[in-house]
Structure 1
Amino acid sequence: MNVLLVIVGAAVGAPLRYLADQAVRARYSGSFPFGTLLVNVVGSGLLGFLVGLPAPTPVMAALGSGLCGALTTYSTFGHETVRLAQGRQGGRATLYALGSVALGLAAAWGGLQLGSW
């Protein structure tokens, strides 16, 4: 049953990631990957919030593993960081990598605090 809940959550999270990235790209041109940064920070905050709740396993399967797992994307983050570095934008690549980790951790901690409250 939990596997089906993960699939349902992922079926929502993956299109949300795509739509959020497209919406950000429509507003901000350039090479900096604001869309991926946004979904990763939001997903980290949401997962932190869910972890702070006394949620039953099916909820965590659907929303934690499924939705947040499909919404966030480490592979795209890695690819975009390398792409920036290869494009002679080492400063932006460093800012993106360090900023993504710092903002993701801060969002997860904030979400955890909110969920635990």
Structure 2
Amino acid sequence: MINVGCGAALGAVLRYLLTTLWKRQRIDWPLATLVINLSGAFVLGILTSHLTPGSVAMTFWGVGVLGGYTTFSTFNTELVAMIDERRWAAIAAYLLLSYGGGLALAWLGMQL
């Protein structure tokens, strides 16, 4: 259980650093969250095909690091903000890219 907590702390710090870098770009799109979640799905796909479920390595990297790195709560907060702003096309694109891209990249990672 300690390995999950340490991994999550590492993943959260990495997510924070990447988000901070992207926010400097001042893009009116939740690009940081999208890239973080898509890259997390891809890496989790790789881990799933190479590590034993429940192993120390999988709980540290998959559950811990990637659990702390990816963010479902920020994704939903950004969607609610877009709904409030009535950005329907952006919402549709964000949902499609997040879910469709996440599934595709997880599958691709599992093929490697």
Question: With structure 1 as the length reference, what TM-score do the two structures score?
Answer: 0.89
Measure how far apart 1:106 and its partner are: 1.2
Cα distance, 1:110 vs structure 2: 1.0
**d(CA) in 1 for partners of 2:16, 2:85:** 24
The question of whether the paired residues in 2 share the 8 Å contact of 1:82 and 1:93 is answered with: no
Alignment correspondent of 2:70: 72
1:20 counterpart SS class: helix
Partner residue, 2:107 = 109
Match of 2:47 in 1: 50
TM-score by length of 2: 0.93
Contact residue 31 and residue 84 of structure 1 kept, 8 A: no
- How far apart are residue 54 of structure 1 and its match? 3.7
C-alpha change, 1:54 and 1:10, in structure 2 (3 Å) is closer
Which one-letter code corresponds to 2:32 in the other structure? G
Letter in 1 for 2:44: L
> Are the equivalent residues in 1 in contact too, given 2:44–2:106 (CA < 8 A)?
yes
State how far apart, in whole Å, the 2-side matches of 1:43 and 1:65 are: 11
- How far is the alpha carbon of 1:55 from its aligned partner? 3.8
Seen in structure 2, the aligned counterparts of structure 1 residues 91 and 14 have a Cα distance that, compared at 3 Å, is same
In the alignment, residue 22 of structure 1 is paired with which amino acid? T
Q: Which amino acid aligns with 2:82?
A: L
Identity rate, percent: 38
Letter in structure 1 aligned against 2:17:
L
Q: Distance in 1 between matches of 2:79 and 2:95?
A: 6
Gaps of 5+ in 2: none
Counterpart of 2:20 in structure 1: which amino acid? Q
User: How many aligned residue pairs are there?
Assistant: 111
Q: Which runs of 5+ in 1 are unaligned?
A: none
2:10 aligned residue (7, 12, 33): 12
Cα deviation digits, residues 27-76 of structure 1 (max 9, x gap): 2x233100000110011011110000044700001000000101111111
